Amino acid sequence: MSLRLSLGRPAAIRRRFDLSSVLAISFLAVVVLASLLAPWVAPYSPIEQDYTQMLAPPSAAHLLGTDDLGRDVFSRLIHGGKASLFGALLAVLVGTLIGVPVGLIAGFRGGWIDDVIGRLLDTLLSFPAIVLAVAITGALGIGLTNGMIAVGVVFSPVLARLARAQAMVVKQELYVDAARSFGATNTRILWRHVLPNAVQPLIVQVTLMLAVALLAEASLSFLGLGVQPPWPSWGAMLTRAYHYMEAAPEQMFAPGLAILLTALAFNALGETVRVLLDPTN
């Protein structure tokens, strides 16, 4: 009995914060802190060029080597994290703020509202994502912020469809009828009953989108629509490294791994949030 008691609570805590979530949160904390404190943490300026040290391999002076213009890759990675994280969060935020309310209302109200919104979503989804993002960026003007808003608009129909499907299921639940029998308004039912019970797959989708947004930032930067030179972002760095793939293939590792690990950490974080929000776990 005492054994079970002593194991009971730590086990419950461990189930919520398992190794992957601890690692993910720690990693993200380091990345975010480093990005915010970049001017003080980075050993070199991210834009200062040194033509005597082009495409240098890692060394004691340059931990991750230098790029094609002799800039310190480690410093650019730290500075670039800010743009990449900001861009990814902005895109997902825009996508969520547009997509989730639209989807919830369409699914909850049904009828002609659902028909109209559904057709609009189908229209948006029928465009290739990157083409739509490029078109919107072109309309808004070139730059990281506009580019990632465009990516957010591209994301929104995906989230809207998911939110719509969830709302259609949850609105059939008996507790929605119970709330209605007390006289609850639609707004209250949406906010207090439908959204909390529809949110789980949305969280998973959002964290997957954070990872996709990191890559979308890379694509936009590749096309010259994202972060403008000489300022770094992970996507821009990856694009640049790609040009020197044969001469210096190790150039791709730093930004590539940064994107990969951050994306994985976002996914693990999403799973942790999902578990924490579910009282039945």
Partner 1 sequence: MNERVIAMPRPPEGERTRLASAQDLQVHFPRRSGPPLRAVDGVSFDVVAGETFGIIGESGSGKSTLARALVCLQPITGGALTLSGRSPASLSAASLRLLRRDFQIIFQDPRAALNPRMTVRALVAEPLEIQSIGTRDGRRAAVLDLLDRVGLGPEFADRYPHQLSGGQRQRVNIARALAVRPKLLVCDEVVAALDVSIQADMLNLFKDLQDELGLTYVFITHDLAVVAHVSDRIAVMYLGVFMELGSKAQITERPLHPYTRALLDAAPQAVPSYRRVHREPLQGEIPSPLAPPSGCRFRTRCPLAVEVCAASVPAWREVQPGHFVACHRAGEAMVSTDGTDLRSQGVRSAAR
Among 28, 53, 188, 273, binds partner 1 (CB under 8 A): 188
Residue 166 to residue 197: CA distance in whole angstroms: 8
**Contact between 179 and partner 1 per CB under 8 A:** yes
Rule CB under 8 A: say whether 115 interacts with partner 1. Answer: no
CB of 197 to partner 1, least distance (A): 6
Q: Does 174 bind partner 1 (CB under 8 A)?
A: yes
**Residue 16 and residue 276: Cα distance in Å, rounded?**
7
Q: Which of 178, 245, 260, 276 binds partner 1 (CB under 8 A)?
A: 178
Pick the closer one to partner 1 by CB: 76 or 193: 193
Residue among 173, 191, 224, 249 that touches partner 1 (CB under 8 A): 173
Least separation, in Å, of the C-beta of 200 and partner 1?
10
Q: How many residues bind partner 1 (CB under 8 A)?
A: 20
Is 183 a binding residue for partner 1 by CB under 8 A? The answer is yes
Segment interacting with partner 1, rule: CB under 8 A, options 14-22, 91-99, 186-194, 241-249: 186-194
Piece of 73-81, 105-113, 184-192, 254-262 that binds partner 1 (CB under 8 A): 184-192
Min separation Cβ 183 and partner 1, Å: 4
- Using CB under 8 A as the binding rule, the residues of this chain from 190 to 229 that contact partner 1 are 192-193, 196-197
- Under the binding rule (CB under 8 A), the answer on residue 187 touching partner 1 is no
Taking the least distance from each CB to partner 1, the nearer of 135 and 184 is: 184
Q: Does 280 bind partner 1 (CB under 8 A)?
A: yes
For the residues of the chain, what is the DSSP string, one character each? Answer: -HHHHHHHHHHHHHHHS-HHHHHHHHHHHHHHHHHHTHHHH-SS-SS---TTSTTPPP-SSSTT-B-TTS-BHHHHHHHHHHHHHHHHHHHHHHHHHHHHHHHHHHHHH-HHHHHHHHHHHHHHHHS-HHHHHHHHHHHH-SSHHHHHHHHHHHHHHHHHHHHHHHHHHHTTSHHHHHHHHTT--HHHIIIIIIHHHHHHHHHHHHHHHHHHHHHHHHHHHHTTSSSPTTS--HHHHHHHHHHTTTT-GGGGHHHHHHHHHHHHHHHHHHHHHHHHH-TT-
Which positions lie near partner 1, rule CB under 8 A?
Answer: 173-175, 177-184, 188, 192-193, 196-197, 277-280
